[in-house]
Amino acid sequence: MNVTLSVIKADIGGYVGHSSTHPDILSLAEESMAKAKIDGMLIDYHVTNCGDDLQLIMTHKLGEDNDRIHKMAWDTFEAGTKLARTLKLHGAGQDLLADSFSGNVKGMGPGVAEMEIEEREAETVLIFMADKTAAGAWNMPLYKMFADPFNTIGLVIAANMHAGFAFEMHDVKEHKKIVFKAPEEIYDMLVFAGAPGRYAVKAVYTRESREISAVSSTQRLSLMAGRYVGKDDPVCIVRAQGQFPAVGEVLEPFTTPHIVEGWMRGSHNGPLMPVSVAQANPSRFDGPPRVICLGFQIADGRLVGPRDMFDDPAFDECRRQAGWAADYLRKHGPFEPHRLPLDEMEYTTLPQVMRKLEGRFEEI
């Protein structure tokens, strides 16, 4: 049976500040999804939040980029924005960049990751959702999951993974894409994957049957809006087990709290801390950046779950490391590399300061 898994998310108002989502917003989204399920549009759904980002996880038979699904998500975000305004939540409607819906939420502010799959005998999926970070945050974990044998031993010893995976990489500034084959092209691929501000892994496929293995949201809000409007706070869907990495191989990259952009005012680098849903309320210096992971078995489109995958004391040590790295970076205050490099600050006050001081720069 073919089923489409759609994860569509937006920050439509923070509670308190940008730290979390108000329970009434979650209830509103829950009601909207329940109605779409009764109407037969959705097979199943799960509503959650990662910090101030409202996450709509949906299964249906309508395929990717479906206008009815996208419109229903958009309408949910609009209704949520109205409620956010009455509660005077912070930044109500922040990610809704367009005034009205026009066919597809892509390019309109919300983040989207969708995959149409032929459901396997047992269909294991893991959905990653992040707050206070940007689209390229998945590059390192996806590389480790699908190309690094030190992370994923299945690449070496599982016959159905040994051929490797193909990575579709997007240039988010020039709107171009390229596909790299792992393992033979990993050195070329890392030239780009290692620059996550510009290049983001959009999808991963199995080499032999071209089966979709992972897909991420690559929308860059600042590039869409031409100004700083909040961070992308991306999502990523990964299939696990069988011809894909095992659940533990998919989660393993997050034991290193790698440094990502998006902390405080979207202008700082910080460690990506894997946490349970209950702990995804970034408050220290508006962070540090968080990632949550919900696991499901999909049964005829039904979302059996979720399991809160980072709710495991085995991740305590890396949370401690993230705390340590956060302390260390914070000591740099307004200095790089805690603060983002100048060219990443162009959507902030930098151009205004440059204009103000224009006449005062003298030749040396």
CA atoms within 13 A on the CB side of 135: 27
In whole angstroms, how close is the CB of 158 to ligand F6R at the nearest point?
39
- Catalytic residue, from 24, 65, 67, 228: name it: 228
Out of 2, 16, 17, 223, point to the residue binding ligand F6R (CB under 6 A). Answer: 17
Give the DSSP letter of residue 360: G
Alpha carbon of 45 to those of 37, 297, 306: distances in Å? 8, 13, 11
For the CB of residue 342, give the shortest distance to Mg ion in the complex, in Å.
Answer: 24
Contact 255, 157 (CB under 8 A): no
Query: Which among 128-136, 235-243, 256-264, 291-299 is the span making contact with Mg ion, rule CB under 5 A?
Result: 128-136
Q: Of residues 122-151, which lie at the interface with ligand F6R (CB under 6 A)?
A: 132
Q: Which does 264 bind (CB under 5 to 8 A by kind): ligand F6R, Mg ion, none?
A: ligand F6R
16 binds ligand F6R (CB under 6 A): no
d(CA 192, CA 178): 10
Partner from ligand F6R, Mg ion, none contacting 53, C-beta within 5 to 8 A by type: Mg ion
308 catalytic? Reply is: no
181 assigned to active site: no
Binding mask 263-292 for ligand F6R (x = CB under 6 A): -xxx-------------------x------
How many other β-carbons are positioned within 10 Å of the β-carbon of residue 42?
Answer: 23
DSSP 11-44: ---BSSTTS---HHHHHHHHHHHHHHHHTTS-SE
Does 339 help bind ligand F6R (rule: CB under 6 A)?
Answer: no
Closest approach, Cβ 265 to Mg ion, in A, equals 11
Residues 80, 29 contacting (CB under 8 angstroms) = yes
Residues with catalytic function: 11, 228, 231
